[in-house]
Chains A and B, each alone.
Chain A
Amino acid sequence: MIIANQKPSNEIWKMIQPYQRVLIVGCGTCMTVCGSGGEREVNFLHNALRLMELKLNQSAHTFSEFTIKRQCETEFIEMLTEKINYVDAVLSLGCGIGTQAIAERFDNLPVLPGVNTSIIGMGTTQGVWLERCVACGECILDETAGICPVARCAKGILNGPCGGSKHGKCESNKEMDCAWILIYKRLEKLGQLDKMRKYYPMRNFQTIPRPRRLIKSVTGGNTDGQLSL
């Protein structure tokens, strides 16, 4: 799931200053799940901004709110068309994708980001998400016993662990497990330590120039997609 954090309200406050009528748009999928931009957060922010307006003795802004199912789909964004006519800016509580999608569609309107998109996260206990994948485009989880060194090793190396691994923890963050020690232990458990003895050449960073594009053709049988530039 894409995980983001709502920006502090004073930062949002500064962003909306130049605009009189602001529409706060929420997202009903990832941002709802991580509690940063769903309907409840939109409602909260709306109330907070109105209160700030009042207490700072201004009447310069009017706010409205609307939450769509997903901000990354054109069909859902279309549902904003009518409302856009009556606002001067959109404050999107969708992730970076959603915010940009809205900006692309309504390109004569300033679109402001209300959240800081952070990680592709795995949920654990309520409210805690851990980064597990960085969308490198070349998944090698079969070689590393299901533990991703690109996401979980601070240096992202493929022939780990580095010399700084101490007591099974990472040199740069003692709270964090050294991914390569985790990989070593699990490969041992699976009886696949040979995989660690292999030489892994340098990564093909060619998959990572921005922006990447994925084209998938969905035919009758298997789907086959190819990552291209």
Chain B
Amino acid sequence: MVNSLFEEKLDSDEFLITTEIGPPKGIDVSEMLDLIETLKDRVDAINVTDNQSSVMRYPSLGGCLLVKEHGGEPILQMTCRDRNRLALQADLLFAYSRGIVNVLCLTGDSVEAGDHKEAKPVFDADSIQLLKMIQTLESGRDAGGNELKGIPRFCKGATVNPEADIIEPQLIKFDKKVEAGASFFQTQGIFDIAALKRFMQYATRFKVKILAGIIVLSSARMARFMNENVPGIIVPQSIIDELSSVEKGKGLKKGIEIAIRTIRAIREEKICSGVHIMAIGNEHVVPEIIEAVKIPSSL
């Protein structure tokens, strides 16, 4: 039986910090390896994204293997866009065999967003069906009802969007995901603490752990771009204004400042169980942020 260090941490009351790495478009993984080295001891787990934004890249499974091999705790991101239930289950069996047992279940961005616009979108399952599929594997059967030779066990997670403009459908889905076995949630980018608080009021009825997503912005233009093009992310005007107020070149610094501020608030007010820092393209600043929000503790 493989244990998940991350799961152990989830069971504790620690304030958790996770982050994510995006693999390269190609076979040269040297940069990724550098990042793994930098981050593996500073965070509780590292997500490796899976063809994020429908851009073809080195797979999450491969990245997680590298994380594991270099001593870090990986979280496998699995989207339903590119694989049918056969492939999903097969990949999960392989992941377990290599000690990769933390899985974040996502439906996946639509093909239009990426760089292979004519590809066939699979969506044999959605995120909730994937969670259930894993549950089924854990019961010793595959999704076709056939007995497994050797039973895996995973630490399952999913996403949620506390700042969605129409919140009730998100809450309905959240319920279903919990029902389907998710034990941790990494949220979409949080900019509005009050919204997070409201969501947490709802979420505390469940025993799941919520990690607030923190996006490190680098400029007002990036913020606006994300609003227009990135699914599920809404950067409020006040943040955009804050970013516009600094001179050129200082945007990233401001972004870091906003991130730190947000994490501090969450930590001090004990709003949720931790944060998930997303600094795609600027992963090198993550250590700085973590350093800034550290409360002297055993990290």
The answer to whether A and B interact is yes
* A contact set with B: CB distance below 8 Å: 154-168, 170-173, 180-181, 184, 193, 196-197, 199-203, 205
B107–A199 CB distance below 8 A: no
- Not counting A184-B166, A196-B172, A201-B132, a sample of 13 additional A-B residue pairs whose C-beta atoms are within 8 angstroms of each other reads A155-B107, A155-B108, A159-B126, A159-B127, A159-B173, A163-B160, A163-B161, A163-B188, A166-B231, A172-B110, A173-B112, A181-B169, A202-B85
29 contacts between A and B (CB under 8 A): A154-B110, A154-B121, A157-B123, A158-B129, A159-B176, A160-B169, A161-B169, A161-B170, A163-B232, A165-B169, A166-B234, A171-B110, A171-B113, A171-B231, A173-B112, A180-B169, A184-B168, A184-B169, A193-B172, A196-B169, A197-B175, A199-B176, A199-B179, A200-B129, A201-B132, A202-B125, A202-B129, A202-B133, A205-B124
Chain B residues lying within 8 Å of A155, measured Cβ to Cβ, are 81, 107-108, 110, 121, 123, 126
Closest 9 pairs between A and B when the two form their complex, measured CB to CB: A164-B231, A171-B231, A172-B110, A157-B126, A172-B112, A163-B232, A159-B128, A162-B107, A184-B169
Chain A residues lying within 8 Å of B124, measured Cβ to Cβ, are 202-203, 205
Residues 201-234 of chain B: 1 if any A CB is under 8 Å from the residue's CB, otherwise 0? 0000000000000000000000000000001101
Chain A residues lying within 8 Å of B132, measured Cβ to Cβ, are 199, 201
Q: How far is the CA of A136 from the CA of B281 in the complex (A)?
A: 41
Chain B residues lying within 8 Å of A154, measured Cβ to Cβ, are 110, 112, 121
Q: How far is the CA of A9 from the CA of B188 in the complex (A)?
A: 48
A165–B129 CB distance below 8 A: no
Q: How far is the CA of A167 from the CA of B127 in the complex (A)?
A: 21
Chain B residues lying within 8 Å of A171, measured Cβ to Cβ, are 109-110, 113, 231-232
Q: Taking CB as reference atom, which chain A residue is nearest B85?
A: A202
A166–B169 CB distance below 8 A: no
Q: A172-B110, A184-B166, A199-B179 are in contact. Are A160 and B188 (CB under 8 A)?
A: no
Chain B residues lying within 8 Å of A173, measured Cβ to Cβ, are 112
Chain B residues lying within 8 Å of A170, measured Cβ to Cβ, are 110
Chain B residues lying within 8 Å of A180, measured Cβ to Cβ, are 169
| B164 close to A (CB within 8 Å) | yes
| B165 close to A (CB within 8 Å) | yes
* B contact set with A: CB distance below 8 Å: 81, 85, 106-113, 121, 123-129, 132-133, 143, 159-161, 164-166, 168-170, 172-173, 175-176, 179-180, 188, 231-232, 234
A166–B232 CB distance below 8 A: yes
Q: How far is the CA of A162 from the CA of B81 in the complex (A)?
A: 12
Q: Taking CB as reference atom, which chain B residue is nearest A198?
A: B176
Most chain B beta carbons < 10 A, residue from A160, A161, A164 = A164
Q: How far is the CA of A193 from the CA of B168 in the complex (A)?
A: 10
Chain B residues lying within 8 Å of A163, measured Cβ to Cβ, are 106-107, 159-161, 188, 231-232
Q: How far is the CA of A179 from the CA of B81 in the complex (A)?
A: 18
Chain B residues lying within 8 Å of A196, measured Cβ to Cβ, are 169, 172
B180–A199 CB distance below 8 A: yes
Q: How far is the CA of A166 from the CA of B124 in the complex (A)?
A: 23
Q: Which of B112, B173, B234 contacts A161 (CB 8 A)?
A: B173
A158–B126 CB distance below 8 A: yes
B129–A201 CB distance below 8 A: yes
How far is the CB of B112 from the nearest CB of chain A, in Å?
A: 4
Q: How far is the CA of A156 from the CA of B143 in the complex (A)?
A: 20
B173–A167 CB distance below 8 A: no
Q: Which of A161, A164, A181 contacts B109 (CB 8 A)?
A: A164
Q: How far is the CA of A202 from the CA of B126 in the complex (A)?
A: 8
Q: How far is the CA of A205 from the CA of B164 in the complex (A)?
A: 31
Chain A residues lying within 8 Å of B168, measured Cβ to Cβ, are 184
Chain B residues lying within 8 Å of A166, measured Cβ to Cβ, are 165, 231-232, 234
Q: How far is the CA of A113 from the CA of B232 in the complex (A)?
A: 42
Chain A residues lying within 8 Å of B113, measured Cβ to Cβ, are 171-172
Chain A residues lying within 8 Å of B175, measured Cβ to Cβ, are 197
Q: How far is the CA of A170 from the CA of B179 in the complex (A)?
A: 26
Chain B residues lying within 8 Å of A193, measured Cβ to Cβ, are 172
Q: How far is the CA of A121 from the CA of B27 in the complex (A)?
A: 45
Most chain B beta carbons < 10 A, residue from A167, A172, A201 = A172
Q: How far is the CA of A160 from the CA of B123 in the complex (A)?
A: 12
How far is the CB of B33 from the nearest CB of chain A, in Å?
A: 30
Q: How far is the CA of A201 from the CA of B112 in the complex (A)?
A: 26
Q: How far is the CA of A161 from the CA of B177 in the complex (A)?
A: 13
How far is the CB of A165 from the nearest CB of chain B, in Å?
A: 7
Q: How far is the CA of A162 from the CA of B129 in the complex (A)?
A: 12
B107–A157 CB distance below 8 A: yes
Q: Taking CB as reference atom, which chain B residue is nearest A153?
A: B123
A162–B126 CB distance below 8 A: yes
Q: How far is the CA of A203 from the CA of B160 in the complex (A)?
A: 23
Q: How far is the CA of A154 from the CA of B121 in the complex (A)?
A: 9
A199–B110 CB distance below 8 A: no
Q: How far is the CA of A197 from the CA of B110 in the complex (A)?
A: 24
Q: Taking CB as reference atom, which chain A residue is nearest B121?
A: A155
